[in-house]
Amino acid sequence: MVDKYPYGSIGLGTLSWRGQSSLEYALKTYADAGFYALFDEAMIFLPEVDDESKSIAAQHPYRIETSPDNFGIMNGMEEIAKRLKTDYIFFTENDCPLLEDKAECERQITKALALLSQDNACMARMRHTKHFGEKFNIYDKYLRYFPIMDTVAAKARRLLRPSKAKRLCGNAVYVSDAPSHQFPQYIEDVGDGFFLVDCATMAWTNQSIIINRQFFLDTIIPYCKSVPLGRGANGFKAIEVELNNSRFWTQSGWKIACGAGLLTHKRVEARTY
């Protein structure tokens, strides 16, 4: 089978635990946009599987993989990476609906894969930069340090907490129309609406990313497993907790590719899990 992109094969890997209404809504947006056709393989992983989630997934062109138990986000993402065989993975979750049409999705995926294949970036963020949705507090944190109109209070925060200010710089891509002009030492404009952002200034995220599958399995997962369990989600490791603010990440010299983005974050039902 010929890969859909000249840079290698890509699989859609969706992680879903409970949240059935959110899952149904998100997958409908994928189907309506023809999103599935952009991938060489599509797999959904259902830990602690239930009949309703399986029924929803079965309405879409996914290979359904399950586990009787739930061992957290990191384990779920690792299982997806192990069970897919593509060169790259586009990770989504059950509450990540799609906002853009098929043509724009294909354009951004192609650009992201080009940057990843040339080792210009270690991952690509695909969450929408203007309509990023719920649970995105980094936007407000950034504005406390770098408001649109600078303030004495913001200047004082940057002076008193320079390390934190630096870690927030990369998030200018969600606020500024010209982030590479604002922070040229950390953000590079690489055309087609994409920027390369230094990992020293932007955190890892699990949500809506494209990453090389072997890099994820051989580099990211082993480091996270080596970190003693701390504040994980539901008592399990979550990748974000282990990586963010670690020197492994912030001093890696890696870059994150950021375009306009494709998906948002929307939970349809109240989260009780």
- Which CATH number does the domain housing residue 125 bear? 3.90.550.10
The strand pairing partners of 124, in sequence order, are 210, 257
Q: Is residue 172 part of a domain?
A: no
Is residue 67 within 8 A of residue 77, CB to CB? The reply is: no
Domain of residue 76: give its range: 10-132+192-263
User: What's the confidence (pLDDT) of residue 144?
Assistant: 95
pLDDT band at 232 (very low <50, low <70, confident <90, very high): low
User: What's the confidence (pLDDT) of residue 208?
Assistant: 97
Q: Is residue 151 part of a domain?
A: no
Q: Is residue 30 part of a domain?
A: yes
Judged by average pLDDT, the poorest of 139-153, 155-169, 229-243 is 229-243
pLDDT band at 234 (very low <50, low <70, confident <90, very high): low
Mean local confidence (pLDDT), 24-28: 97
Can you tell me which residue has the tokens 């930069």? 129
In a 13 Å sphere around the CA of 129, the CA atoms on its Cβ side amount to 21
In this prediction the pTM is 0.95
Q: Which amino acid is at 12?
A: L
Q: Is residue 66 part of a domain?
A: yes
Q: Is residue 235 part of a domain?
A: yes
Q: Is residue 16 part of a domain?
A: yes
Dihedral pair phi/psi, residue 236, rounded to 5°: -120, 160
pLDDT band at 273 (very low <50, low <70, confident <90, very high): very low
Is residue 238 within 8 A of residue 72, CB to CB? The reply is: yes
User: What's the confidence (pLDDT) of residue 195?
Assistant: 98
Q: Which comes out higher in pLDDT, residue 233 or 84?
A: 84
Q: Is residue 173 part of a domain?
A: no
What's the number of domains the chain is made of? 1
Q: Is residue 157 part of a domain?
A: no
**143 has a pLDDT exceeding 50:** yes
